[in-house]
Amino acid sequence: MAGSSSNRFSLMHFINDVRSETKKVTWPTRKETLVTTAMVFVMVIVASAFFLLSDMVIHWAVGLVLGFGR
């Protein structure tokens, strides 16, 4: 039974360490969260537009080279 109590002590020590570390975390404010979320959405739109345009140009170039669409 001695092993059991040392495991329980280790678990409690781990939980206390986790609580101690989470108190050190600097959590973002609501405004910071909203701004970074908006930035992610803007970047998704920009990246989507870029890849759509790239795909259209490549499609056009391949069609030109292979003679499609004439």
Task: Write the DSSP assignment of the chain as a string of letters.
Answer: -HHHHHHHHHHHHHHHHHHHHHHH--PPPHHHHHHHHHHHHHHHHHHHHHHHHHHHHHHHHHHHHHTTT-
Domain boundaries, the chain: 2-66
Instruction: Please state the pTM of the whole predicted model.
Output: 0.61
CA atoms within 13 A on the CB side of 17: 6
Q: Please write the tens of the pLDDT for every residue from 30-59.
A: 999 999 999 999 999 999 999 999 999 999
| Longest Cα separation, the chain | 84
- The amino acid occupying position 15 is I
Quote the pLDDT of residue 54: 98
Q: How confident is the model at residue 68 (pLDDT cuts 50, 70, 90)?
A: confident
